[in-house]
Amino acid sequence: MNQIDSGTTSLQGMVAQKIETQQAIGGIIGLGYVGLPLAAAIGRAGFKTIGFDIDPAKVERLNAGSSYIEAVPSERLSELVAQEKFRATCDASELAKCDVIIICVPTPLSKQREPDLSYVEATARMIAEHLREGQLIVLESTTYPGTTEEVVKPILEATGLRSGRDFFLAFSPEREDPGNASFVTTTIPKVVAGEGPAASALAEAFYSAVIERVVVVSSPATAEAVKITENIFRAVNIALVNELKVIYDAMGIDVWEVVDAAASKPFGYMPFYPGPGLGGHCIPIDPFYLTWKSREYGLTTRFIELAGEINVAMPRYVISGLERALDQQLSKSLGSAKVLLVGLAYKKNVSDIRESPSLVLLELLEKRGTHTDYHDPYVAEVPRTREHAELAGRRSVELTPEVIRSYDAILLATDHDNIDYGTLHENARLIVDTRNAFGKRGYRSEKIVKA
C-alpha cells in the first residue's frame, strides 16, 4: 500500500485512509468486458462497489447475480451481491456516494475513422453533476494521449472544483484480454498515472489493494500512450504477417508453417499469426486515435496507417480465396454457392463480436449473392451493432452432419476450441480455413484450403 507522507493535504490523507481501511466505495461506469470484471475484482478485494449502466435490463440481471461476461462467472457475482460487495444501478445520483469512480465506457471511431469521445464526454458530464470533494476519478477507456487532462479535466472543473485540490484525477489503461486463461484482471500489471503526485499516490494505493502489481508512470498522457503503443505493436505485427500470408500464398508456401518454424528461434523473434482481419475493441480502433492526434503536431503515421490498410483488406482477400476454391474444386460461382461461416466472435472462446471481421465477411458474401448462414457456440443471435445493424437477429445454425452437408463450403473464421472439427471435416465438401484450425489438429486433405 502506498504511504502518504506528512506533507500531503488532509483531503488526500482522508481518501488514503478510506482506501487503506477498505471503507472507500468504488463506482464503475460501464459494465461491459472491462467494467464488470474490474467491479468484481474490486468487490473481491473487500470494497463495496456500485456498478453504473444505462441499460435497466443489465442492471436487473446483475443484481440477480446473473453474469453475461465469461470472465465473471455467475457464481462469483452472486457471492458478491449476497455479501453486499456489488450492486448495479442506473441512478447516476449514487455517484455522490463513491470515493473512487472509474470510467470504463467505449471509445469507438466515427464513420470518418476519427475518435468518438462522446461516451467519455457524456460520462464526465454525468460525474460532474454529482462531483464532490475528495473523490478520485480514473479514466480507463483507451484513448489518445492528452484526453484525461484536455477533455475530462475541463468538464469536471467546470463545477468550480479543482483537480489536485478538491478532487483527484488519474488515468489507468484497461488491459483486459477476453478468453485469456493465463491472465485475469487481478494478475495483469496495472499502469497508473495521476494528474499530480497526490492523484498518482491515491491511484497507486487503490489499485494496489486490488491488483497484484501496479506500475506508476509520470503523467496521464504517458499512461495513455502506453496503451496505444501496446495495441499499435500488435496491429503492425499482425499486418506484417497478413502481408506475408498473401505473398507466401502466391509462392505456394504455407505461412503458418513458416511462422511456427521461425518461432523455434529462442531470441529475436516473436510469433504473430494471420487471420481474416482484426476484431475486438482495441486493435482495429486504437491506432487510429494516435493517427488523429498526431495531425495536431503536423506529423503523419505512415507505418500505422499502412498496417491498418493491410488488416482492413484481409476480409476481401479471404472472400477472393473462397471464390477461387469454389470455382476450382466445385465449379461453383460465389453467387450461386451456399456457405456456412463458422465463428462470429472476433477471437476464439469468447462471445465478443465487437469489430469482428466475421461480420464483414457475412456482408461481403451476401452482397455477392451468396446464401450465407453462421454457426457460433458462443453467439446464439447477432446483437444490434452500429456498423452492421442489418445483421441483428440472425441466429446460429446447429452444426450437425446433415446441416454441414447442405452447404457448398465451410468458411472457418474463428477457431473456437469447442467446435467439432472432426464432424466438419468428415461432412464438408470444401473448407476454407483462415486460422489453420484444421492443420493444428492434424487434418490434411484436398478439400481444406487455407486463406
Q: In the chain, which stretches have pLDDT less than 50?
A: 1-8
CB of 319 within 8 A of CB of 353? Answer: no
Q: From CA 376, how far away is CA 341, in angstroms rounded?
A: 9
Q: What is the pLDDT of residue 2?
A: 44
Nearest-5° angle of CA 214, CA 170, CA 190?
A: 20
Q: What is the pLDDT of residue 4?
A: 42
Cα 66 versus chain centre, distance:
21
Exactly one of 90, 98, 104, 282 is catalytic; name it.
282
Q: What is the pLDDT of residues 297-326, one digit of tens each?
A: 999 999 999 999 999 999 999 999 999 999
Q: From CA 201, how far away is CA 223, in angstroms rounded?
A: 15
Close Cβ partners of 320 (under 8 Å, ≥ 6 residues apart): none
Q: From CA 64, how far away is CA 62, in angstroms rounded?
A: 5
Task: Dump the DSSP string for 62-106.
Answer: HHTT---STTS-HHHHHHHHHTTSEEEES-GGGGGG-SEEEE---
Name the helix (H) or strand (E) containing 50: strand 49-52
CB of 97 within 8 A of CB of 25? Answer: yes
Q: What is the 3-state secondary structure (H, E, C) of 325-375?
A: HHHHHHCCCHHHCEEEEECCCCCCCCCCCCCCHHHHHHHHHHHCCCEEEEE
Cα 280 versus chain centre, distance:
5
Q: From CA 381, how far away is CA 50, in angstroms rounded?
A: 29
Name the helix (H) or strand (E) containing 450: strand 448-450
Judge whether 282 counts as a catalytic residue. Answer: yes
Measured CA to CA in angstroms, residue 389 lies from 32, 118, 360, 384, 385 at distances of: 20, 20, 12, 5, 5
Q: From CA 48, how far away is CA 59, in angstroms rounded?
A: 16
Q: What is the pLDDT of residue 298?
A: 95
Q: What is the pLDDT of residue 328?
A: 96
Q: What is the pLDDT of residues 111-127, one digit of tens each?
A: 777 899 999 999 999 99
CB of 163 within 8 A of CB of 131? Answer: no
Positions of CATH 3.40.50.720 in the chain:
10-218, 236-450
The 8 Å CB, 24+ separation contacts for 89-92 are 89/50, 89/51, 89/52, 89/59, 90/52, 90/53, 90/54, 90/55, 90/56, 90/59, 92/52, 92/126, 92/129, 92/130
For the chain, first and last CA: distance in Å?
51
CB of 178 within 8 A of CB of 211? Answer: no
* Closest to 90 (Cα-Cα) out of 46, 132, 137, 31: 31
Q: What is the pLDDT of residues 124-171, one digit of tens each?
A: 999 999 999 999 999 999 999 999 999 999 999 999 999 999 999 999
CB of 287 within 8 A of CB of 232? Answer: yes
Q: From CA 285, how far away is CA 305, in angstroms rounded?
A: 11
* Closest to 381 (Cα-Cα) out of 366, 396, 370: 396
Q: What is the pLDDT of residue 5?
A: 42
Measured CA to CA in angstroms, residue 417 lies from 173, 233, 397, 437 at distances of: 29, 26, 18, 9
Close Cβ partners of 39 (under 8 Å, ≥ 6 residues apart): 26, 28, 31, 49, 51, 86
Q: What is the pLDDT of residue 180?
A: 83
The predicted model scores a pTM of: 0.90
Nearest-5° angle of CA 168, CA 172, CA 173?
A: 150
CB of 274 within 8 A of CB of 244? Answer: yes
CATH class, domain 236-450, is alpha beta
The domain made up of 10-218 has a fold known as Rossmann fold (3.40.50)
